[in-house]
Structures are given as structure tokens and as C-alpha cells.
Structure 1
Amino acid sequence: MMWAEPADHQLSIKDLPYTGVHSKKQTKEHMLITGEGAGIIFVIDDKSGNIHATKTLDREERAQYTLTAQAVDRNTNRPLEPPSEFIVKVQDINDNPPEFLYENYHANVPERSNVGTSVIQVTASDADDPTYGNSAKLVYSILEGQPYFSVEAQTGIIRTALPNMDREAKEEYHVVIQAKDMGGHMGGLSGTTKVTITLTDVNDNPPKFPQSVYQMSISEAAIPGEEAGRVKAKDPDIGENGLVAYNIIDGDGIEMFEITTDYETQEGVVKLKKHLDYETKKTYSLKVEAANVHIDPKFINNGPFKDTVTVKISVEDADEPPVFLAPSYIFEVEENASPGVSVGRVHAKDPDAKNSPIRYSIDRHTDLDRYFDISPEDGSIMAIKRLDREEIAWHNISVYAAEIHNRHHEAKVPVAIKVTDENDNAPKFTEAYETTVCEKRQSNEPLITITAEDKDDTANGPRFIFSLPPEIIHNPNFTLHDNRDNSASVIARRTSFSRQMQDVYFLPIVISDAGKPPLSSTNTLTIRVCGCDGDRISCNPEAYTLNAGLSTGALIAILACIVILLVIVVLFVTLKRQKKEPLIVFEEEDVRENIITYDDEGGGEEDTEAFDIATLQNPDGINGFIPRKDIKPEYQYMPRPGLRPAPNSVDVDDFINTRIQEADNDPTAPPYDSIQIYGYEGRGSVAGSLSSLESATTDSDLDYDYLHNWGPRFKKLADLYGSKDTVEDDS
């Protein structure tokens, strides 16, 4: 217990519960304290002046408190002296154990590390005052992990304690480290942590084959790249230290086989490199080496990091397909050769010991037009059609060879057939040439340069020879110059031409090739005579004739004739329209009448065929359907069911109603605005004859003699209409 001192003194209180600090006073005045914790943690006895702590003090929470004490009058509370400041410092005791930063640590160290190799440093802390006593003085020690590891007492550094620790023997270690305060002496507090230490791998082990000989087998029918078997050397190392590469270093099969590394399974894969033949060699031997890819120089003195093994491979016999003597064939045949000409011969054999007979055939997918055929027995190929090099220069076909006794075993070989050229195409113009020549030529340059083409090969084509036919070689108009570069120039011999005399010239040109024998053709060059005025060229012969051959008076006369002709045509059409047509046509042919009234412009002559009145002249005829002629129906219209043919005694009124009903129900006919008027008198008319021949009126203007003469004709006309009221002959 300490006494309270004036402000310039410090009082220390041990962190014991309810310990009082006393301050002796000479007077009996009233004492008050203020400051940190006053009235809560610290209280003062106003009679004795003793300061008491009301609760346990913890230095780790607060190391010191600052208080102010003052004496006041008990009655008036007036200060009797200046205030005094006290600092209460909490003295430390060892009440906190050491604590590590982490509850668990993880560390790695390479296997086979030297003794004393640093692994990891662990650190602990103590909340007690490190400046007072040994409460915060820590000492580290290892509780678990001996004899493999040790720890430095003052620093907490963990180090290896045994040499040549092998990861393959034990990979992970669990170490417990303790930190104790009070310098590690008796009575100190302690804390622990766990450290997991893993040994990392180093390449300290070579690969090893588990056996000395591997046996494998493969069929002679296997193709290159096919797997024969696998070998595996074991390496206890991991990661890149355990990677193994395989190589064939010796053996009689080093040319026939190869080995690759499967890095996923760490196996060596033996594969076929060339085709095998059981009849030639039945077994092969290989010496295979397995070596680490990455080698640690520290362990290179431990010995070679590799191992070898013997691999024996047996070849199994197989029924092999035929084999062609050549991988491909190229033949030549002349074009236009007669069908049946020989092209060439392919040959295949059975590689098996039994040597089965072979049959040959052409793959028709490669010879769709069947230009060729092959002898099944000996493989001779022949052309069965005439070949045209200009149509197909190369024919690429495929030929099959199969064993007679096993059709499933077959071989295929490509055959290329070249069609050699024959001079069977004459040269011709590369295009339809046409040029012009001015009436008044201003230059002696060629009119045009022409070229030729030949479908034949170069040996039978160019160079081309251009010439004029012998019969016109000395013509006075044009000449030809062979440029000797497979082109020729056409030159005009005259300086002037006349379109009136001749406006077009056709110049024949003979072109010959260099074939043996040479072929030639005659091609025609069209040359038009044109009028040239600067850059303007006119090649119209009609315009030229009008301008050059006719005078102004002649042109006026021609125009006047044309005008007069037009006036005559107009007058003729007008008079024809004013001419009245007779009411009755007195031809002995079929009599028809069709009066059509339009309220707009109609369809012309087709409208006159809108209705056929031939049925009206014979009511006894069949009431069949007559299609419209003024339109083109979209589909055939059939008569509506229920409309029966008119009987012999049909009345014209019923007949017309029937026709109207058909027209109304006809979906193929548009509703034309027309009026159909039929001039017809039916049978048995109660009105009698409407003829005026029997009229008693003598004042009529009718010429009865005329009617008398025409009476029989009216009678015939009435008979045609089918009327019983005939016109009587007054004669």
C-alpha cells in the first residue's frame, strides 16, 4: 500500500482488489477527487483522505490514471488550497500467457536437406509489461517433432535436425512448439502452436523397370502408327522430377518401330513405323531406355538416372489384301483412237504365301461415262469410246484388285490416263470481228488487228498463218499483213470509199495452224463504210441516201404525197362509218345478229363474239354450254347441275331465261355492260305473221314487185329461224 503524494509525486498501486491509498492531512477539511475513474474506480475517504480502488485494476486495459485532489471547507465547500494532481500507475504482474500469431503453421523444406536448414520462424507475444520483470520474457521449445526438427529458444526458428530425410519414406511431419514467459522458469505461463512441415520432392530416384523383358505381338496387317504395346518405368519422385522419356537405343527392329511417351500415364508406347511382312520376318527385338527428363545436379554422383529393358515383338500372320506393284499408274492414249485400243496394264499380287488369284475392276464412280474397261484377269485397260482431248485432257480413274476367294480383301490404285493431242481443230477468230472504214481515210494505219485461237495443243496450234484466199489476194480494196506473232493486220488499199456504191464489205481470211498435217479455216471479217466528220462517225446508209441523193424539192413532194394519202384514209374511214348496214342479211350462209350496246369503250372485235346466237336459229338443238370467247377462263366451267337441255317445244322466252341464268352463274365471265337483243319469232305465235305482204293498204311506199321477187328468200330465212309463220310467195 502506497501513500498519496503531491502532484509532483507518483503513487503506484499493485493490481490487487480493493487496495486503499492513504494521504495524511493535518487539518479536518473535506477532501474531493476528480479525474479519470474518480467516483467509479477510485473513491476518497473525506475524513481520513484515504483513496480506495473499488474494483480490480488491469494494467493491460489501462496502465495509469490521472487524478486531482483538493481540500474544501466542509461547511462552505470553498477551496482551502490549490488542487493537487496525482498519477496512479498500475504495477504489472504476470497474468497473461504467451500467444502465437497463428494457431497452425504450414511450412515446406526439401527432402535430404542438410542439418540445420531453416524451415520456418514462429512468433509469440505476451501482453504483460516487457519492461518490468520477466513477465514478457519468452523462451521457445519443441514439444513434438524430435528428433527430426529443433527450434531456437530465443528466436523461434525451426530447423532440420536429421540428415537425408526422405520424402518417399515420410512426407509430412507435425511439430508442436511452446513459448513460455518468465524466461522459461518455473511458474511462468506458456502457449503452444502446431506446425505442419512437408518435405518437398527432389529428383533423388532414377526410373526403374519392374521387369527385364516385355513380350508384344502385332499383326502384319497393321498400318504404320498402330500401337504394338506399352512399357513403364517406375519413378517414386513426383512432378517434373518423376517425368520419364523413352527411347529405342538398339535392336533389329529399330527401323520398323518407334516409341513415344504418354506423359499422362508415364508409359512408353511402342508403335509400328513401317509395314510388316510375316513372310519376310516374324520377330523383332528392341532395347528401350527410360531416363528422367530433369536431373538434379546435386544427385548426379549417385549414379545414372536411367534404366533399360528388352522388348520382343512377334509378327502375326494375316490374310492381306492384294498389293499393286506401283503406287500409281500413268498411261497415254491418242485422241480419236478407235474403240478397243489398249491403254496400259496394272498388276497386283497376293502377298500371302497361298498367292490367291486376283480379279481387276474399275471404280465406276471415277469413270461415270464409261470411257474405259479392264480385263478382269490380267488388268489390261482399254478405251471403249473415242476420246477427245479438247473435251477431257486427263482421265483419272481408280482400279480395284481383289482376291477371287475373298472379295473383302481388295486394293485400290489411282490410274491417270493422258489423252495425247491430234490436230483435229482448225484455228478460228478469237471473236466475231467487225470494223469500220471511213469514206475519206485520213490515215494509213491498219483498220484492225485480229488474233486466232486453236483448241489443239501448242504443238498442233500456234504458230498461226494468216492469208487471203487466192481468188481475192489482189483485190483493190483491202490487204492483209501477217504480223508473225499469231496476229494479223487488215489494211485498206484505197483512200476513199462510197457508201452509195457499197456500204458493207465481207473480207474472207484464211488461218492455218502448225499441225501435221496443218488445218485451216476461212473466217469472215465485216467491214462497214461510214461517214466520218472529226470524232463523229455515221454508218447509217438510209440517212446518207436521203441526204445525199435527194434534192429539197423531191423531199417536199414525198411529204406532200404522204399527207394526201393520210387524208384519203381518213375520208374512207369516215364514209364507212356513215354507211348504213341493211336490216337483214340476205346471204344463204348462217344468219346471226348480235347487237351490243356499250356505255364505255369496249373490247373491240372480241366483243362481237360474246354470245353465239346460232342456237336461236334452231331451238331443237341441244342446250349445251358455249364458253365465253371474249375472255380466257381460268378453269373449265361445267354446266350447272339441274339445267336440263330444252325440249323440242321450248319457248324462246324460256330459252332466253335459261341463257340469262347461265350467264349470271358463270364464275369465269365478268359482268359486261351489254344488251343482248335477239330478232327471233318463236313457234306458234298468237299474233300471227307480222309480214306486210298481205296488207290491203295501197298507199304503202313498199315495192311489192320487189317483195314478190324476194318472197322465197324471206321464206327460206324464216325457215332458218325455225318459225311456222313463213312469208308467202304472192306469185
Structure 2
Amino acid sequence: LHSSQDRGDGSVKYILSGDGAGVLFIIDENTGDIHATKGLDREEKSYYLLRAQAVDKITGRPLEPESEFIIKIHDINDNEPTFTKEMYTANVPEMSDIGTFVLQVTATDADDPAYGNSAKIVYSILQGQPYFSVEPETGIIRTALPDMNRETKDQYLVVIQAKDMAGQLGGLSGTTTVNITLTDVNDNPPQFTQSMYQVSTLESAPIGFSLGRIKATDADIGENAEVTYNIIDGDGMEMFDIITDKDTQEGIIHVKKPLDFESKRLYSLKVEAMNTKLEPRFLHVAPFKDIATIRVTVEDVDEPPTFNKPYYTIEVDEDAKEGTIVGTITAQDPDASKNPVKYSLDRHTDLDWIFNVHSENGSIFTLKSLDRETSPWHNISIIATEINNSKQSNQIPVYIKVLDINDHAPEFVIFMETFVCDNAIPGQLIQTISAVDKDEPPGGHRFFFEMAPEATRNPNFTIRDNKDNTAGILTRRKGYYQSRVNTYLLPIIVSDNDYPVQSSTSTLTIQVCTCDSAGNLQSCNTEVMSLPAGLSTGALFAILFCIVIFLTVILILFASSKRQRKEEPLTFSKDDVRDNIVTYNDEGGGEADTKAFDIGTLRNPKAIDNKLRRDIIPEAILSVQQTVPLWQSTDVRAFIIQRLHENDEDPTAPPYDSLATYAYEGNDSMVESLSSLESISKDESQDYDFLCDWGPQFKKLADMYGGVDSDRDS
């Protein structure tokens, strides 16, 4: 540096400041010369910005304003080219054409590209010829030979050089390595190792059984080596099949249909192996598939008997008699020897021994009568066994269907009880009834409802068949009074429409109840009871009348004995074992004795015990119901049932289901004894039916109420 104010007398001092001042650069303060203290690197810093000033050495006063200047570093070729990677990896398909792009490598030079040729790079290949080449200016690597085969060599090591100074002598250089792999293409077809294969199997081989494996090799790899096997021809195409094992690329031959040594013993198959993925540009070279022949030999085995059907279905009527043949099954030995076969029934399938099978001809017959309503189906199994070899047997299911016949009468669905309001009007529906039948006619059930013959002239109710297997009970009049009749019995006949026609009779119990104006039930005096069907009203009157007379006579005899107060000691026979024996040691008073009413007086007065019985609930003693007198009700059946019910529920009424001993004898007995053991008379003229001699008079009474229809009923 030099200032115009410097006259050379040493009065001027030069000062340097800025980038690197005093470190990289120093200035001679007297002369203004700038020196570098050490070597400079353009790649680190290409220029420096400095400031200089001239001042008076004595006063320090600036002689000139401060000025800036730049020091530029000129480049020299001191850096070799460097690749972006120390090693490159590339793939290229085998059989590629010449010039196929493989990879582009890149190198950089730290020198100044604008200054000479220090940073101008040229690429060249040092190793990898003649397979590959590199473009000098771009660094693109391409294939240099055609039809490079992966199956011959699949890995190549290529060394690429980058040299600066445009490749001239004296330039610096750098290298990199490129690993190039040839990728596989499907340029090889699969091939069998032999043209014919031999396999064998037993005729008993099940469907799906594997006979063996074959394999076609392929020089390719990956998906290009995947093979599909198919049977394309041969007489065993329907009997066998082949599938591909994806893991091993083998063809597995398996049985498709059951084999039979007696029918065919040798099969021939043509199997094709073909690649799954094909390369179109190689198809013209050769077909990418191979064909081999497979011969399958079927070997004989001793087979069990076979049936001509997979199962049997047999129908038989349920009224079939014992020993009836219901069907026949057939089995035979499939082997060439044709051994005879015997039949037997698997008793685990017929524990009740309903069927059996003839051992020689296979006919199935019944051992017992059948009932479809109990068992509509019988599933049994028949066993066929070779007579010469008992180990060879086979079993077949037989389904026996029992056909229905009309052997059951229809019945009401439930026990029918209903009521009629005392204010009912004529034609009012009081109940809808329906029926069920255990039989199952083919056309479905059709039931018919009608009154029983003895009730066809019933003035109280009628029945209407609804034609839908139901019937309605209708009133025929108005005004039903509980004080007169509180229960009606209506016998109804229900019949079916099958052959032979079956019918049954059931009795509908209708109770008279009090209802409001809307027909809602309010109260009923008596409980609806059921009696067996078939008893007419007149017959019930006769039975009731006899019972009433009998009870009256008994009460008279007991009353007569009450007048007798003669005491007798309570004695017993020494033979009395007290085991279900009732001893009568007291003679009744007979018909003349009508003043006795207390049956307790027939016993020894001292033996009377006022203690309550232990087997009677005390509260039940007060639950005796009052019944309607006979002359206030014309329904004899309900009257008898009600009286019977009251006596059963009355804890004070005899008998007590215990031993009753009568040791007190009454006086003035005309029949001498009440005991059935001592009243046997040898007088054949004696009439023991005198108690029921009032029948004709009772019939007149019953006719007044319309309850007796014939002399038989009376």
C-alpha cells in the first residue's frame, strides 16, 4: 500500500485491519508492504476483505480516509475428484440389449471450475470390460455385451475412475466400485427329469390319497421358476388329479374317485408342467412347458361287502302283524372271488327287538307290533359279513317309516268345563270346543261334532259344528235357575273322517252361574264336577233314590239302638288278632226301631270318648257345607256328588278308617242282627231288594221333572 502523503521521510505509518489482519496478513507499517504469514487454501476461503489507513506516525492523525481492498486467492489443481459414494450397487436384467442403462455415477472436484481445467472431470472404466461401459462426461454405465446370462454369471464388479484436468496428463483422479447384479428373467422352460413315471396304489385308497410326487426343474429363480401342473390327457383323467405344492414346486398326484381293481388295474396320465409367468420375448425360442407320462397301477385288496344303495328307506303300515317282511337289502363281495355274504342286525340300533333280518336273503321282518304314535320312525343298521372272512364286513343304515292307520278316536283338547249365565238368552254361544287326534291322515284332520243320542232332544243346549274342527255350544232357551238345576251334563260325540271312522264321547259339564247384564261371571253356588259319560239322568235318579232309602234305614236302626242303655262289658274274642277285622257283637233294632238317631249309642256308653281325633284338622270340623234338599233340585247327579263330597269332607261322619267295635246290643230288633256275617238266611223267599221297591213311585216323581226317558233308566 502507498499513500500520496508519504514523502519517504518516515513520518507515515500504515495500519491494516479486516479478515485475517495480523494473523494471515501483516503489513510493514513503514513501507506498506503486505505479506502472507502462511499458505492459503482457496477451497477454504477464496477472498479476504481488508481495510487500510495511513496516519501521521507522530500525531496519529489520519492522513487519508480509510479504504477497503480485496485479496483474491487464485486456484491451483490441488484437489482430486471425489465420488458421492464409495460403492454403488446396481441391477440389470439378464439378456439385456447392448447399451441398456445400468447406473449413473457422479464425482465432484473442490477446485475452481471457472479457473482452467482443474475441476473438469472425465469418467473411464478401469475394471468390468467388456461387459459394461461408462460415458466419459456423464458417468452413465451401460451394458456392453448382449445376452448376458444370469445362469452363467450373475455378479459383476466394475471400477470407475474420475480424472480432472479433462483427463490430461498430470491431472488428479479418484475411483469408485460398482457391484452389478444380473436379475433373472424367465428365459428357461421347466423340464422333467424323466419322461415316464411309475406309481402304484391299493384299490382301497380313499379319495384325496396322495400317490406320489413329480417335479419339473427350472433354471430360473423366484416367480420365473414357479410351475403349474395339469393332467392334459390319458384314461385316468377322471380318476386322478394333480396339484402344485407352492413351497417345493412339485406336482402331487392324488385319488379323485374310488378305485376298483376288478374294474381297471392300470391307468395312463399325461402331465404338463408350465411356468406361471411367461416372458413374451422368449416364447418364440421354445415352448415354456414340458410333458411327462405317469402310469398308475392299482393293486388288489380284500374288500368288504358292498350294498347296491348308500342307504335304504322302507315304509310299513303300523297294523303289520308280527313276522311281516317290510323290505329286503342286498350286498355282495366286490372281489373276484365273490365270497358269499350273511346278514345280521346291529342290536345297538334296535334295543327293543322290534325287527330282525334273515341271515341268508337279507329280508327284514317284524318281531313285534308297531305303533306309529309311539315311534313313527325306526333307524336300524344291517351288517353284511363275508362268510369266509368274518373280518370283512360292512354296515348300512335302514330307515323304516311306520305309516299311519286310523286307529285312534279324536278327543277333546282339554277336559271341558264351562258355565251358563242364569240370564242367558236363546242362541247364545257359551263355549267353543275342539279336538285332537293322535293319527295323521294324509289329507289332514276333519272332525265332526254332534250330540250323543240320549241328548239329541235336549231342551237346554245345542251344538253347532263350525266346519273347522271346532264346535260351539249354544243355549236353546232363556232362564237358567240355580235353585232348580245348578249343573248340566252334555254328552258330545266327536268323530273323524278317515277310514275306519273313529269316534269318542265326552261329557261337557255346564254350571249355572249368576252373571251381570253384560254377561260377566259373578258367582256360582256349586263346584263343577265331572262324572263318567254314559249315565242318563233317569239312571242317576234311581241310584240316588236307593242310596237315600238305604241311609234312612241305617239311621232308623241306629236311633233304635240308642234307646237301649244296657251296659255290656267290652269283650273281645280271644281269636281277635286286630288285623283288618271288624267285629259286630251288637244286634240292631231292626225296622221297628225308629227312635234312635245317635249312632254313638251303639257303642258301650262307658267307652264313648269325647276327645278330638288326632288325624282331623280342627278347622275342618266347621267347614261342613249345607246342601240343597232333593226336592229343590232336579239334577240328581250333582246332588249325589255334592252329598258324597260333603260326607267325605265331614270329619265327624263315620267311618274313621279305623277299627270300630260294637259290643252293645240293642233291643227289639226284627232282623236280629245287622252283621253281614250272621244275617245269611236259608229262607229263599226272603226279599233282599225290598229297599229299592219304591222304583215305580220314584219314576213318577222323576217324570214330573222330565228326567226319565225309559223304563230302563228307572
Q: Provide the TM-score with structure 1 as the length reference.
A: 0.68
Partner of residue 538, structure 1 = 521
Is it true that 1:76 corresponds to 2:59 in the alignment?
yes
| CA contact 1:402–1:411 (8 Å) conserved in 2 | yes
Seen in structure 2, the aligned counterparts of structure 1 residues 181 and 364 have a Cα distance that, compared at 3 Å, is farther
> Could you say what secondary structure the match of 1:232 adopts?
strand
Q: Shift of the alpha carbon at 1:323? A: 1.0
Is it true that 1:479 corresponds to 2:462 in the alignment?
yes
Partner of residue 264, structure 1 = 247
Kindly provide the amino acid, as one letter, of the partner of residue 159 in structure 1: R
> Could you say what secondary structure the match of 1:436 adopts?
strand
Select 1:130's aligned residue among 113, 120, 123.
Answer: 113
Residues of 2 paired with 1:420 and 1:67: CA distance? 126
Is it true that 1:41 corresponds to 2:21 in the alignment?
no
Is it true that 1:65 corresponds to 2:39 in the alignment?
no
Partner of residue 278, structure 1 = 261
Kindly provide the amino acid, as one letter, of the partner of residue 195 in structure 2: S
Select 2:90's aligned residue among 107, 128, 133.
Answer: 107
Select 1:383's aligned residue among 357, 366, 374.
Answer: 366
Kindly provide the amino acid, as one letter, of the partner of residue 241 in structure 2: E
Partner of residue 366, structure 1 = 349
Kindly provide the amino acid, as one letter, of the partner of residue 363 in structure 1: D
> Could you say what secondary structure the match of 1:392 adopts?
coil
- 1:38-437 counterparts in 2 under 5 A? 38-437=21-420
| CA contact 1:25–1:49 (8 Å) conserved in 2 | no
Partner of residue 450, structure 1 = 433
| CA contact 2:417–2:508 (8 Å) conserved in 1 | yes
Kindly provide the amino acid, as one letter, of the partner of residue 199 in structure 1: L
Residues of 1 paired with 2:155 and 2:403: CA distance? 83
Kindly provide the amino acid, as one letter, of the partner of residue 33 in structure 1: L
| CA contact 1:529–1:539 (8 Å) conserved in 2 | no
Q: Shift of the alpha carbon at 1:329? A: 0.8
- 1:545-560 counterparts in 2 under 5 A? none
Q: Shift of the alpha carbon at 1:383? A: 2.6
Residues of 1 paired with 2:461 and 2:21: CA distance? 140
Partner of residue 664, structure 2 = none
Is it true that 1:518 corresponds to 2:501 in the alignment?
yes
Residues of 1 paired with 2:7 and 2:103: CA distance? 61
Q: Shift of the alpha carbon at 1:171? A: 1.8
Residues of 1 paired with 2:222 and 2:54: CA distance? 83
Partner of residue 599, structure 1 = none
Seen in structure 2, the aligned counterparts of structure 1 residues 245 and 543 have a Cα distance that, compared at 3 Å, is closer
Q: Deviation per CA, 1:646-670: give whole Å up to 9, x if none.
A: xxxxxxxxxxxxxxxxxxxxxxxxx
Seen in structure 2, the aligned counterparts of structure 1 residues 65 and 476 have a Cα distance that, compared at 3 Å, is same
| CA contact 1:96–1:189 (8 Å) conserved in 2 | yes
> Could you say what secondary structure the match of 1:91 adopts?
coil
Q: Shift of the alpha carbon at 1:442? A: 5.5
Q: How many residues in Structure 1 have an aligned counterpart in Structure 2?
A: 525
Is it true that 1:499 corresponds to 2:486 in the alignment?
no
Q: Deviation per CA, 1:314-371: give whole Å up to 9, x if none.
A: 1111111221121111112222434433232222212122233334333344334443
> Could you say what secondary structure the match of 2:73 adopts?
strand
> Could you say what secondary structure the match of 2:282 adopts?
helix
> Could you say what secondary structure the match of 2:510 adopts?
strand
| CA contact 1:530–1:537 (8 Å) conserved in 2 | no
Kindly provide the amino acid, as one letter, of the partner of residue 61 in structure 1: E
Residues of 2 paired with 1:425 and 1:42: CA distance? 134
Q: Shift of the alpha carbon at 1:25? A: 8.4
Q: Shift of the alpha carbon at 1:27? A: 5.7
| CA contact 2:425–2:477 (8 Å) conserved in 1 | no
Q: CA RMSD in A?
A: 2.4
| CA contact 1:427–1:461 (8 Å) conserved in 2 | no
Q: Shift of the alpha carbon at 1:409? A: 2.9
| CA contact 1:454–1:461 (8 Å) conserved in 2 | no
Q: Shift of the alpha carbon at 1:168? A: 1.8
> Could you say what secondary structure the match of 1:298 adopts?
helix
Q: Deviation per CA, 1:554-583: give whole Å up to 9, x if none.
A: xxxxxxxxxxxxxxxxxxxxxxxxxxxxxx
Q: Provide the TM-score with structure 2 as the length reference.
A: 0.70
Deviation beyond 6 Å, 4+ runs, structure 1: none
Seen in structure 2, the aligned counterparts of structure 1 residues 102 and 364 have a Cα distance that, compared at 3 Å, is farther
Seen in structure 2, the aligned counterparts of structure 1 residues 41 and 445 have a Cα distance that, compared at 3 Å, is farther
Residues of 2 paired with 1:5 and 1:517: CA distance? 152
Q: Shift of the alpha carbon at 1:288? A: 1.3
Kindly provide the amino acid, as one letter, of the partner of residue 289 in structure 1: E
Structure 1 unaligned spans of 5+: 7-22, 545-731
Residues of 2 paired with 1:94 and 1:383: CA distance? 119
Structure 2 unaligned spans of 5+: 528-714
Kindly provide the amino acid, as one letter, of the partner of residue 136 in structure 1: A
Q: Shift of the alpha carbon at 1:56? A: 2.2
Seen in structure 2, the aligned counterparts of structure 1 residues 230 and 89 have a Cα distance that, compared at 3 Å, is same
Q: Which moved more, 1:413-422 or 1:43-52?
A: 43-52
Q: Shift of the alpha carbon at 1:5? A: 8.4
Q: Which moved more, 1:126-135 or 1:532-541?
A: 532-541
Residues of 2 paired with 1:445 and 1:531: CA distance? 15
Q: Deviation per CA, 1:445-495: give whole Å up to 9, x if none.
A: 532322221111124962111111011012011111112222222211112
Q: Shift of the alpha carbon at 1:71? A: 1.7
